[in-house]
Structure 1
Amino acid sequence: MRFHTRKWVKPEDLNSNGTLFGGKLLAWIDEEAALYAIIQLENNKVVTKYMSEINFMSAAVQGDIVEIGIEVVKFGKTSLNLNCEVRNKMTHETIVTVDNIIMVNLDDDGKPKSHGKTKIEYVKDRLAAG
């Protein structure tokens, strides 16, 4: 799994227990999945269709640096299936896992659109080919 984004847990990210608020973490995951799908599918019109069971395994506290990892599970006709792990950057302790996130590629009218992708592509390879 590749870890793409790091977040610093700040006071405004905490819940009443002094740990990272789950809703804030889910927003970070959703944004990371969207960015990943936009880059892979080369279309900025993607939406989250589904997020499977979310397994909170440990807490993050103020000052922790967390990193968000995304991995492609499969390419569908109009979708991209991902899984996610968020871990503590310093200890590598897993904070949360999400087994299945489905991102859907859309056309200009907001309808699912075939993307024609079948494998992971890296921007550096696209730039070298262009």
Structure 2
Amino acid sequence: MTDFSALSDDEWKARLTPAEYRVLRQAGTEAPFTGEYTDTKTIGVYRCRACDAELFRSEQKFESHCGWPSFFSPLAGEAIIERADNSLGMRRVEVLCANCGSHLGHVFSGEGYPTPTDLRYCINSVSLRLEEN
């Protein structure tokens, strides 16, 4: 089993494409409405593109029209880590993969979406890999 916390930047660069590295390891963001999973309705499990950990199920995905795949809940509470992100002059909550520490996106609340949790996990498609059922 790989100890992802021990991987160097060069090892991550060898494992990931430049776009994946920029988002997953440097907390970048893909352009809105360009991601592979923004509009998909395929049934399955969304996994971390960096380490293959299960993160979200398609049943938790919803149409937010924000430009990125949106989910109202992670697969399990321990699948992700949330931490304060005060970059870009904004207060947000960053979402990271709990298994490898890779940046996935951000979570927002109180936006009035009709979801069971009133949360929107706004996740970069490049951070995910869909395993179809």
Give 1 or 2: higher strand fraction: 1
With the length of structure 2 as denominator, give the TM-score of the two structures: 0.25
State the structure with more CA Rg.
1
TM-score of the two chains, using structure 1 as the length reference: 0.25
